[in-house]
Structures are given as structure tokens and as C-alpha cells.
Amino acid sequence: MNISKSIFVFYILLAANAFGQDTSGNKTPLEGMDMTWQNGNDRRKSQVLQTKYFTGNVMLDANYTYSFNNPIDNTVVGSTALARNNEMEISSANIGGEFNYMGARAKIMTQFGTRSTIVPRNDYSPYRGQYDLANVYRYISEAYAGYHFNVWYGINVDAGMFMSYIGLNSYYQAENWEYQASFTSDNTPWFFNGIRIQIFPSRKLKIEPWIINGWQSYGKFNTLPGFGTNITWCPNENIKILTNDYYGTDAAMIPGRKRFHSDNSLLVRYYAAKKLHGVNQMAFSLTADIGFENGGGVKGFNGDTVSPSQHFLSLMCYNRTWFCKNKLAWTFGGGVMTNPGRYLVLLPTGDASPLPKPGNPAQTAGTHPFSANPGDRFSGWDCSTNFDWMPDQSLTVRIEYVHRQASVPYFAGHGGVTSPTGYTTTPLPTGWTPDLVRSEDRLIFAILFRL
């Protein structure tokens, strides 16, 4: 457990450095700092739908994505951002807001569009017990209530469903530098369901413990809940350092298999012009993840034929440049990932799906399922570049080119993953198999609105 010891030492050093740096009397975290440039953050400088007790939020994410593989069923494989190729889709439509009265607080954000299907689809926990959790929670992206304590720079205790920070990117595309997330973000959680405690011991430091049902799961896979924490430190408005760490039992019906994951990011704005002419800002983000599962027939590292290795290693890096009074921006970057055992790989849909068949957890939904057994190898890399037009703080128009590559056939090829015709109503003839290929190239045109 040398990794765990190193992370613990890092926590102590980070907290020791952050405490005592702020001697001002201001008790608002990050007060006076510009965080709108950060990947995964709200880029708005002001709230429009704000009253004394309520701050509203309306978001719409619409896109058209063109796949050069041109699958006949228009199905996207291996993405939580996209669902349909070569046609217009509404990925996400959200409405809600935050409520505050005295110390009481709550937030509700609804979720409609294709994302309400593609994000919950890999969650096996609704098959444990009754009440169809996948549909009960499908149309909610955030919903929690809690209390704010005026201690230090604030302590918030919330219970419900809240956003994950693992993978750096935000669940809401309007906050991200890129549209199609790299493997690091797309294969790690977008939400948690449980209890969150946000502690701000200083203006520049946040410590956030979690007690949750599991790894992006509506319910619990076994009897043990998941435990985690986020530590975020912003020594100044140009630097953000964060680490997220998680421990849980997330293999359905295998309580002896334990999962550990460490996610670590650095964001640096290395240029900020004093006058808004020409190049206005330049920044980069760097994220590195390490994780593993151990027990229940697998080892984290140095596995063998009896107990294969099952771990997750990934890295992603992006650079962004803003022009023309921050109304234009250019981003490029990418990442790599390896995940033997495929325990975090987004599983294909259609006839390639290895997920349980609705109403029958003992049978897979696809007749030719993509395997995710201990020892199955998977690695991949991706790169992308995009150009944003942001006429105001509420609208982003984006065009993005993405290339993704996998070590095994994984992405949808021209034959698709549904049937020989691309329609679910067509019976599958003998010998037909889903057309999975090792690479894909695509163009994404997106309109992102936030008020």
C-alpha cells in the first residue's frame, strides 16, 4: 500500500501549506478569484436568475456529430457525451436551481435528452431489489438538501445526488474545454448518490469527504458503501490543484473485490493579458489517474492466470487559448488509458452489449456481447481539437474534431451494432455480428446554452 501512504503524505503537506496562508477577514471561499477560465467550471461571471432565496439555472446541449465510420444504425459506442451519429440530437436539457433560506440549502436539476439514457446504462445496481432505480432517477442530474454552518470559511453537509469531481471534466458540457471527453473522464463517475461534507478551513482550501452508495451507482452493489474525498487547493486564481480518492466494493455479487481509485489534476493559467487585445489567456490542464481492484479472483497489479491484473492507468492533457476579448477560444489535447479487466470501460450498446437484459439480469442484452472478463485487455488513446465562439456568457458554439483509437475492436463501424439494416425490428440472421472497429474519427457541432 505504498501508493496509499504517498497520497496520505500528500494530503498532510497540502493541508499544511494551505492553512495559514489567508489572514483576511473575508469568510467567502475563493472570494475575489477568477475561476471562469478553469476546465470543468462555470464560465459565467454573474448569475442572471438570482433572487434572495433562489438562483435558477437553465441549460440546453444540442449537437450534430458526423462519424467518418458512418454506421448504418447511427449509434455511438463508447461515449457518455454522444448517442447518435450523423443526426441532430438533444444531449441534455436541464432546468432547476439552488434554494437557500437561513442555513438551509437545496439544489434540484432535472435531466432530459439522450444523456438520461447513456449515463445510467452501465449501472448494474438497479438490478438489486425492486423499484427500477434506473428509471426512478434517470431524469435527475442533481438533487440534494443540507445545511450550511458558519464555521471557518463554511461547512456544508448535503445528502442526495451530487456531481463527481473524478476525471476533472464537468458533467455539463457548457463548463468544459472539450466536448468529447478523453478516456480518463469518460470512464470515471459523473455523479455520486449519498452524503457529502464540504469543509472550507481557509479561503483557498476545500476538503470534501463522501459516504456514497458506490461508483456512479444509484444503489449499492453489495453491503459496504463507498468512501471518498476531494481536496482542492487554489493558492491563487491562476493555479488549481485537486485530488480525489475512492474506496468501495463495486463488483455486483462479489463483495470480496475492493476498488481503489486516485484521480489528480493540475490546472495552470500561464498567461493572462492585462488588455483584452489579441491573445487574452492561455491555460493547460493535466490529469493523471491510478486505480485497481483486488480480491474476488483478481489482483491490482502483477497478476497471473489464476488472478489476472485489474487496474486503471490514464493521463490526459489539454491546452486552451482565448482570443478577441475572450469571445473566441482554441483547445487541443488528448489522453491515454489502459484498463485490463475492462472494469471501467464504457460498454458497447445494441447487440454488442454485455449488460443484463431488461427484466432478466441473468441474460445479456446482446447476443454477441463485448467481453469484460478478468484478464481481458483494453487500452486506448485519443486526441481532439476544437474552436469555440462565445458571444456572451450564456452561449457557446463549438466545432470539434476527435480521433479515438482502441487496442481491440470497440467503436461502431459502418455495419453498426444493431442489425444488418440498422433497425431493432429486423431479426438477426445466422452469422451476423456487430461491426466493431478499432478507431473512429468524428466532427462535432454543438450549441451550448446556459442561463
**The domain that contains 113 carries what CATH number?**
2.40.160.10
Q: What is the pLDDT of residues 97-142, one digit of tens each?
A: 999 999 999 999 999 999 998 888 778 888 888 888 888 999 999 9
Counting the structural domains of the chain, the total is: 1
Answer yes or no: is pLDDT of 44 > 50: yes
Cell of 44: 459565467
152 alpha-carbon distance from chain centroid: 30
Highest mean predicted confidence (pLDDT) among 23-27, 267-271, 272-276: 267-271
Instruction: Tell whether the model's pLDDT for residue 8 goes beyond 90.
Output: no
> Across residues 165-192, what is the average pLDDT?
93
For residues 282 and 200, give the distance between their C-alpha atoms in angstroms, rounded to a whole number. 28
- State yes or no: pLDDT of 19 exceeds 50: no
Report yes or no on 40 lying in a domain: no
240 domain-assigned: yes
pLDDT score for 350:
83
Q: Which single residue is written with the C-alpha cell 432565496?
A: 53
Confidence (pLDDT) at 339: 95
* pLDDT recorded at residue 361: 67
Please list, in sequence order, all residues whose beta carbon lies within 8 angstroms of the beta carbon of residue 186, skipping any fewer than 6 positions away: 78, 79, 80, 81, 167, 180, 346
Which amino acid makes up residue 19?
Answer: F
Within a domain: 8: no
Q: How many CA atoms lie within 13 A of 221 on its CB side?
A: 20
* Residue 9 scores a pLDDT above 50: no
Question: What band does 362 get if pLDDT is binned at 50, 70 and 90?
Answer: low
If one compares 313 and 352, the residue with the highest pLDDT of the two is 313
368 pLDDT band (50/70/90 cuts)? confident
Mean residue pLDDT across the chain: 89
**pLDDT value, residue 360:** 64
Amino acid at 299: K
pLDDT given for residue 28 in this prediction: 81
What residues contact residue 277 under an 8 Å CB cut-off, 6+ apart? none
The residue range of the domain holding 380 is: 51-450
Share of the chain above pLDDT 70, in %: 93
Grid coordinates given for 93: 436539457
What pLDDT score was predicted for residue 23? 40
Tell me what pLDDT residue 96 has: 95
Given pLDDT bands bounded at 50, 70 and 90, which one contains residue 17? very low
What's the pLDDT tens digit per position in 147-156?
Answer: 999 999 999 9
3-state secondary structure the chain: CHHHHHHHHHHHHHHHHHCCCCCCCCCCCCCCCCCCCCCCCCCCCCCCCECCCEEEEEEEEEEEEEECCCCCCCECCCCCCCCECCCEEEEEEEEEEEEEECCEEEEEEECECCHHHHCHHHCCHHHCCCCCHHHHCCCEEEEEEEEEECCCCCEEEEEEEEECCCCCCCCCHHHCCCCCCCHHHHCCCCEEEEEEEEEEEECCEEEEEEEECCCCCCCCCCCCCEEEEEEEEEEECCEEEEEEEEEECCCCCCCCCEEEEEEEEEEEEEEECCCCCCEEEEEEEEEEEEEEEEECCEECCCCCCCCCECEEEEEEEEEEEEECCCCEEEEEEEEEEECCCCCCCCCCCHHHCCCEECCEEEEECCCCCCCCCCCCCCEEEEEEEEEEEEEECCEEEEEEEEEEEECCCCEECCCCCCCCCCCCCCCCCCCCCCCEECEEEEEEEEEEEEC
pLDDT digits (tens, 9 = 90+) for 426-448: 999 998 999 999 999 999 999 99
Q: Looking at residues 243-248, what average pLDDT do you find?
A: 96
| 287 assigned to some structural domain | yes
Please name every residue paired with 264 in a beta bridge, in sequence order, or none if there are none: 243, 288
Q: What percent of the chain has pLDDT over 90?
A: 73
Whether 30 is in a domain gets the answer no
Give the pLDDT score at 83. Answer: 93
| Residue 34 covered by a domain | no
Instruction: Give the bridge partners for 323, in sequence order.
Output: 279, 328
The answer, yes or no, to whether residue 309 has pLDDT greater than 60, is yes
Residue 173, in any domain of the structure: yes
Give me the mean pLDDT over the 340-368 stretch.
79
Asked which of 109-123, 237-251, 392-406 is least confident by mean pLDDT, the reply is 109-123
pLDDT at position 18 is 44
- Check: pTM over 0.85? Answer yes or no: yes
pLDDT confidence of residue 1: 47
Note whether residue 26 is domain-resident: no
